[in-house]
């Protein structure tokens, strides 16, 4: 599958952001969950989005993914202004979001999940009706998982009999198959074992090497430092810093997370 | 088990053994309904002659056809219901929908025939009228459930009452009679006829012109309603197993939110399912009109519980996500064999209810323990 022809080196040099968020505001009643946030994501870049509980990370990415509609501000994707009024519209623009458990149907097998909602059909009875092309979908799934180096012994197994890490891998694989141009992951390693967490991080690197930019929300700073190119910290709805991963360390990031440091402080 | 790049550390001997054990549990839980049906039949084959000193047998041609005739309505009510319950919904209105369809098809058939339309087209128009009514009812109920987010239990409970009222109203509080007598043949004749003995034989399509003792010993094999039900079974199994429509049904039952995010038009799909459910019930109502040469506003109501029982014994989970058409067929067979067999053993009616009730609960227990064992094995793996 051709994600993009660019190399990961070239991507970082590319100065046209894939995603631009400008002065985004989202309120819930009296609470301003996201407050005038600016954020850019460049092709092939992994951006870590961190912050304390209730900092507004999930709300921000839900605005990008079409789950919420922001009150103010603009979102540009591939240079064009976008307004997603439904998650499906964001998906149609190839923005894929991975949540911990929301994306898969546990009673269906791997192939059925990867093709959920976009099943491949073939003619039956001389084209009178269309039936599912199980064979094709299974083969494609097998190829895809091999390519992403995901190991699942039995493809006909129902998803709910797989481990959490395997399920997360299937969800990511599906996004890749449908040519994600931006992958958003909200705490994808939550509830996973240590080995499985590492496997998901490997997948993030694999995506990066294929040129797919990733926004990764995580509370585990070592993970964030291990895979990201840039780290954005939020505190009480505001973006407090935006630093190259190579130019900071976890102590500094923690200071931003607790509000002790703030690059955008406006003295009132 | 591992997502591993490279080797999977945990997948050694023990997890393979676990896989095999899990497979065994799954297989057992899949075949239990078949095994139970087989055991039931064996039980009645032995006990029925014993209790009658050999004068009555369970597995005769006639009795097998009686059982098939008996399951037609329950099965048809259960077929659409299977789809609905797979999405974790429920349709409590199918019994009254069957009654309404019986009344509507009888009225339309009678009026159209009296207006001079020949019998066969008149019967076909009766069926279409019943299906159109079902489509409307299913659309209204489904829309309230899917778009206004009122629980299916409430909507179809209330809807059932409304349908019952409308059926009684349209039938003038009773039965629709005055249907052309030829209708009877559609509902009672069969594909084959069998007369035992030297003067008998096997006849296809046309009822042999016989009289007296021979008529009484004549068996009807594969009555038309059974054939129609079988066709609907095949269509529904195809729809559920082989098409994107069926796949979406399972996906919604497995994780409605995920289905929505995957771009499946969940609301529209649910509406279509309630239309489907009403439609298979309408076929049941239509067939009962043919069978009794009359429309009845109360024919379906008593069958609702049995039909839900058949679906559940057949392994459809009320929590959604699991079930199959063949399971519902087996469930309906179990209910019918049990009822017929107990009647032939002269067991009183209240015992039949008690036995069926216990079977329902045991069936669900078996399904649940399967889920428990499978999930335990997973977390243990
Ligand atoms: N749908 C909603 N309705 C009302 N308030 C909401 C809603 N979603 C989020 N909030 C509020 O907005 C604030 C930001 O929540 P958000 O989920 O974005 O935080 P987060 O940074 O993702 O936190 P965590 O790390 O705990 O996931 C919180 O105070 C939360 O209670
Ligand atoms: Mg969050």
Tell me: the pLDDT tens digits for B366-375?
A: 877 777 776 6
Q: Convert the pLDDT of each residue in B64-88 to its tens digit.
A: 998 999 899 999 999 999 999 999 9
The whole-angstrom distance between B324's CA and the closest CA on chain A is 13
Where does residue A70 rank: exposed (0-12), middle (13-18), buried (19+ CB within 10 A)? buried
Q: Among the three residues A137, A157, A178, which one is the final residue of a domain in this structure? A: A178
Closest ligand 1 atom, residue A56 Cα? 18
**Mean of pLDDT over chain B:** 89
- How many residue pairs bridge chain A and chain B with CB atoms within 8 Å of each other? 115
- What's the pLDDT tens digit per position in B181-194? 999 999 888 889 98
pLDDT digits (tens, 9 = 90+) for A87-105: 889 989 999 988 766 679 9
B29 CB within 8 Å of a chain A CB: no
Residues A221 and A162 in one domain: no
Residue A200 lies in a domain: yes
Compute the average pLDDT of residues A153-168. Answer: 83
A163 with B1: Cβ contact below 8 A: yes
**Model pTM greater than 0.90?**
no
Same domain, A192 and A127: no
For chain B, say whether A122 makes contact (Cβ under 8 Å).
no
Structural domain boundaries of chain B? 73-301
Q: What is the CATH number of the domain that holds A222?
A: 3.40.50.300
Same domain, A89 and A184: yes
Which of A24-38, A90-104, B238-252 has the lowest average pLDDT?
A90-104
pLDDT at B13 over 80: no
Q: How confident is the model at residue B3 (pLDDT cuts 50, 70, 90)?
A: very low
The percentage of residues in chain A with a pLDDT greater than 70, rounded to a whole number, is 93
Same domain, A113 and A171: yes
Looking at the fold, whether A50 and A26 belong to one and the same domain comes out as yes
* Overall number of domains in chain A: 2
Is the CB of residue A53 below 6 angstroms from any atom belonging to ligand 1? Answer: yes
Q: How far is the CA of A238 from the centre of ligand 1 (A)?
A: 13
Q: Counting ligands in written order, which one lies closest to the CA of residue A56?
A: 1
Which one of A178, A203, A237 terminates a domain?
A: A178
* Strand extents, DSSP E, chain B: 175-176, 190-195, 201-204, 219-223, 295-296
Range of the domain at A114: 107-178
> Across the strands, what pairs with A75?
A21
Q: Give start and end residues of each alpha helix (H) in chain A.
A: 8-13, 57-64, 87-92, 110-114, 134-147, 164-177, 194-209, 221-227, 250-257
**Same domain assignment for residues A185 and A77:** yes
High-pLDDT (> 90) share of chain A, %: 62
What value does the mean pLDDT take over residues B246-264?
93
Does A127 share its domain with A225?
A: no
Average pLDDT over residues B35-48: 93
Query: Does A188 share its domain with A248?
Result: yes
**Contact map slice: A 31-50 vs B, CB within 8 A:** none
Among A59, A186, A189, A237, say which to mutate for ligand 1: greatest number of ligand atoms within 8 Å of CB.
A59
pLDDT by residue (tens digit) across B196-207? 887 778 888 888
Work out the percent of chain B whose per-residue pLDDT is above 90: 62
Same domain, A208 and A254: yes
Res. B4: pLDDT tops 80 = no
Q: Residue A199 and residue B3: Cβ atoms within 8 Å?
A: yes
Residue A99 inside a domain? The answer is no
By the CB < 8 Å criterion, does B215 face chain A? Answer: no
In a domain, A102, yes or no: no
The mean-pLDDT minimum among B33-42, B95-104, B272-281 falls in: B33-42
Residues of A in contact with B242 (CB under 8 A): 124, 131-132
Task: Answer yes or no: do A59 and A162 share one domain.
Answer: no
Q: Is A23 left (phi over 0), alpha (psi -120 to 50) or beta?
A: left
Q: Do the domain assignments include residue A101? A: no
Q: Does A62 touch chain B (CB under 8 A)?
A: no
Instruction: Decide: B218 and B226 in contact? Cβ < 8 Å.
Output: no
Q: Are A196 and A174 part of one and the same domain?
A: no
Residues A234 and A149 in one domain: no
Q: Within a 13 Å sphere around the CA of B30, how many CA atoms are in the beta-carbon half?
A: 9
Q: Domain end: A178, A213, A234, which one?
A: A178
pLDDT at residue A158 greater than cutoff 90: no
């Amino acid at each position: 599958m051709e994600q993009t022809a660019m190399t990961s080196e070239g991507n970082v040099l590319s100065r046209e952001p894939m995603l631009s968020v400008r002065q985004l505001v989202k309120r819930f009643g009296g609470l301003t969950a996201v407050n005038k946030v600016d954020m850019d994501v460049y092709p092939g870049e992994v951006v870590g989005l961190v912050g304390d509980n209730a900092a507004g990370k999930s709300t921000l990415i839900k605005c990008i993914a079409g789950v919420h509609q922001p009150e103010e501000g603009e979102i540009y994707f591939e240079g064009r202004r976008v307004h997603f009024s439904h998650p499906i519209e964001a998906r149609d623009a190839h923005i894929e979001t991975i949540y911990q458990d929301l994306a898969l149907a546990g009673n269906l097998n791997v192939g059925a999940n990867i093709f959920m909602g976009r099943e491949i059909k073939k003619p039956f009875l001389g084209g009178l009706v269309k039936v599912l092309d199980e064979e094709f979908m299974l083969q494609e799934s097998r190829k895809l998982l091999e390519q992403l180096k995901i190991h699942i012994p039995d493809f006909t197994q129902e998803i709910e009999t797989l481990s959490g890490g395997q399920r997360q891998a299937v969800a990511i694989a599906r996004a890749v198959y449908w040519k994600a141009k931006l992958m958003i992951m909200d705490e994808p390693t939550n509830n996973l074992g240590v080995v499985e967490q590492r496997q998901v991080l490997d997948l993030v690197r694999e995506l990066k090497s294929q040129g797919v930019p990733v926004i990764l929300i995580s509370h585990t700073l070592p993970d964030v430092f291990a895979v990201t190119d840039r780290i954005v910290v939020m505190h009480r709805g505001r973006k407090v810093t935006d630093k190259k991963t190579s130019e900071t360390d976890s102590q500094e990031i923690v200071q931003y997370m607790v509000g002790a440091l703030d690059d955008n402080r406006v003295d009132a | 088990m591992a997502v591993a790049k490279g080797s999977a550390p945990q997948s050694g001997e023990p997890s393979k053994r676990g896989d095999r054990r899990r497979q065994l549990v799954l297989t057992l839980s899949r075949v239990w309904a078949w095994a139970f049906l087989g055991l039931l039949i064996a039980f009645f084959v032995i006990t029925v002659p014993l209790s009658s000193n050999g004068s009555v047998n369970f597995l005769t041609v006639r009795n097998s056809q009686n059982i098939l005739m008996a399951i037609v309505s329950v099965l048809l009510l259960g077929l659409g219901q299977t789809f609905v319950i797979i999405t974790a919904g429920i349709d409590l209105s199918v019994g009254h929908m069957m009654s309404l369809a019986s009344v509507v098809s009888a009225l339309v058939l009678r009026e159209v025939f009296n207006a001079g339309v020949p019998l066969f087209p008149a019967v076909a128009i009766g069926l279409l009228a019943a299906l159109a009514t079902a489509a409307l009812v299913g659309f209204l109920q489904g829309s309230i459930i899917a778009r206004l987010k009122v629980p299916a239990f409430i909507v179809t409970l209330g809807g059932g009452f409304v349908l019952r009222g409308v059926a009684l109203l349209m039938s003038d509080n009773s039965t629709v009679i005055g249907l052309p007598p030829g209708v009877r043949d559609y509902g009672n004749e069969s594909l084959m006829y069998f007369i035992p003995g030297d003067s008998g034989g096997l006849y296809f399509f046309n009822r042999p012109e016989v009289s007296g003792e021979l008529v009484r010993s004549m068996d009807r094999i594969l009555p038309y309603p059974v054939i129609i039900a079988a066709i609907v079974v095949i269509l529904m199994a195809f729809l559920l197993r082989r098409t994107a429509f069926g796949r979406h049904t399972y996906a919604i039952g497995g994780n409605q939110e995920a289905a929505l995010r995957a771009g499946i038009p969940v609301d529209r799909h649910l509406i279509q399912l309630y239309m489907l459910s009403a439609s298979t019930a309408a076929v049941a109502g239509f067939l009962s009109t043919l069978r009794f040469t009359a429309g009845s506003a109360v024919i379906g109501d008593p069958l609702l519980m049995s039909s839900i029982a058949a679906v559940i014994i057949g392994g459809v989970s009320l929590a959604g996500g699991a079930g199959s058409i063949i399971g519902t067929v087996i469930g309906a067979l179990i209910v019918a064999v049990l009822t017929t067999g107990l009647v032939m053993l002269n067991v009183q009616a209240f015992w039949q209810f008690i036995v069926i009730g216990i079977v329902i609960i045991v069936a669900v227990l078996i399904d649940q323990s399967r889920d428990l064992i499978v999930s335990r094995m997973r977390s243990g793996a």
